[in-house]
Structure formats: structure tokens, C-alpha cells
A and B are shown apart, each in its own frame.
Chain A
Amino acid sequence: MVTNVTNFSRSGLYDWMAQRVSAVVLAAYVLFLLGFVVANPGLGYAEWQALFSNNAMRIFSLLSLVALSVHAWVGMWTISTDYLTPMALGKWATVVRFLFQAACGVAMFAFFVWGVQIFWGN
């Protein structure tokens, strides 16, 4: 029976790199958005809507959404393989870990689709 599945890309180095690259994209997006909100105290709907309907912003948002999916996956995978172990959970660890990772994957996919609808649908 297979009890230990390797990570998504089957390469620790690739996951490590993906985590870093996605982190830089997310940091840029978060700092930009926080900066925008802090710099515009009386923010109105028109400005807000104009920001997100701008094509450059749509591309930036979608890029960040992809980065978020990658980053969240690597993070949740790491945590689940560290804590949901036979030492912590006994013989059901593999089942629990698999279900947890599947739930994370489904949730992240749902977030991704929802995000695409928000950024490209409004």
C-alpha cells in the first residue's frame, strides 16, 4: 500500500522555487493594494471599480490568484505532511492526510474560480 505520496511536482526544489516566486508576486500585490487603500482614505465605488476593471490590474490580479493557488498548496501540503503523521494520528494518518489535502485542493480550486469570476466578471 502506498502510504507516502510525494509532493505535487515530485521535486522538492521545484516546490521550494514555486513557493518563493509566488511569494514575491503575492507580496507585490498585497503591498500595492494596501498602499492604494491607505493612500485613498475616502475611497468611492467608481475609483475602486475603475482600479479592478483596468486591464493591467486584471492581469496582476489573475497572476496573484495563480500565485496564491501555488503558494497555498505548497504551504498546506507542507503542514499536513509535518503534523498529520502516524506519530500524531496512528494508523489512520494516511487517510486523514489525504482527505485534508484533497479538501485543501478543492477549496483552493473553488477560490481560484471565484476569483476569476470577480476579477473578469465584474
Chain B
Amino acid sequence: MGDGYLTSALPDNFALIVRGSQCDKKAVNSQRPVNLDLRTIKLPITGVTSFLHRVSGIILFFGIAVLLYGLDKSLASAEGFAEVKECLTSPLAKFVIWGLLSALLYHLVAGVRHLIMDMGIGETLEGGKLGSKIVLVVSTILIVLLGVWIW
């Protein structure tokens, strides 16, 4: 069924895969089978930034527990505050906080881009690609700066 049936009827070198933006009018009109299985389509740069936005969101969802735990402890008492501060001097804790805040910064930068696009800026294919590159560059700079600040 499915893939086996379709591919067996085609020559071996027939490209089933629609590569993201290259899905043009011809492909839409043709009677050829179109592969919409997202797992086998190579991601364009806009897809990469979108995927990272999702991944960072999932990391943050679980990271909330860590951040709330630290906040709870640091506000409960002076001893708790000192304990959290002490804990944050360990390399492992620094790495975890760096990872969480990196996810946060990336999610924030990519989110701001979404808001800008909602205003109608950078909505074209070229604009989208440029926006993705800007998101990657800006978030990388911020994440490096964050690392410098933490260590």
C-alpha cells in the first residue's frame, strides 16, 4: 500500500519529493503523486527556524518547572536565596541555565519576527528567507553574550 504502490509504478530516478518552496504551479496541476510526508522533505531555512522555534518552546515548557523551583527557593528565605546562588556557581547548573535561557532567547527572537511578519513585513519568499537568517544571527549573538555573562 501507499508508498510501495506508488513508487513501484515509477522509474527509479523519478523525484517524488517536492522540495519546500520549489513546489510550483506545474507540480500542482500535474496528475503525478505529490509527496506531502513532512518527514521526508528537506527543510528550507525558514523551516529550520520554525522547527527550532517549536523545539525551544517544548524545552521551555519543561524548563518552567526548573525556573519555578529556583524562584520558589530563592524567594522563600534568605538561606534559600543563598543556596540557589551557591548552586548557580556549579558548572552543571550554569550549563542548564545557559541552555534554558538560550531556548528562551531564541524563542523570543523568533517570536518577535512572527509579530513583525503579522504586520505584513517580510512575508514574501525572499523576505522569509532573510528574516530566518536574521533570527539565526541575532539569536546566536545573544546566546553567545549570555554565555559570556554566565561564565
Contact = CB atoms under 8 A, between A and B. Distances in A.
Contact of A49 (B54, B75, B115, B149): B75
Nearest to A73: B61
B149 A38 contact: yes
Interface string A38-65: 1000001100110010000000000000
B76 A122 contact: yes
A29 to B, nearest CB: 11
B115 A24 contact: yes
Contact of B65 (A24, A68, A104, A111): A111
Contact of B58 (A49, A79, A122): A79
B34 interface: no
Contact of B75 (A20, A44, A52): A52
A27 B75 contact: no
Interface residues of A, number: 26
Q: Which bucket holds chain B's interface residue count?
A: 20 to 34
Contacts of A52: 75
A118 B78 contact: no
Contacts of B54: 75, 79
B68 A118 contact: yes
B68 A111 contact: yes
Contact of A104 (B39, B61, B76, B114): B61
Interface of A: 20, 23-24, 27, 30, 38, 44-45, 48-49, 52, 68, 72, 75-76, 79, 87-88, 104, 107, 111, 114-115, 117-118, 122
15 contacts: A20-B118, A23-B115, A30-B104, A44-B81, A45-B78, A48-B81, A49-B75, A75-B54, A76-B61, A79-B57, A111-B64, A118-B68, A118-B72, A122-B75, A122-B76
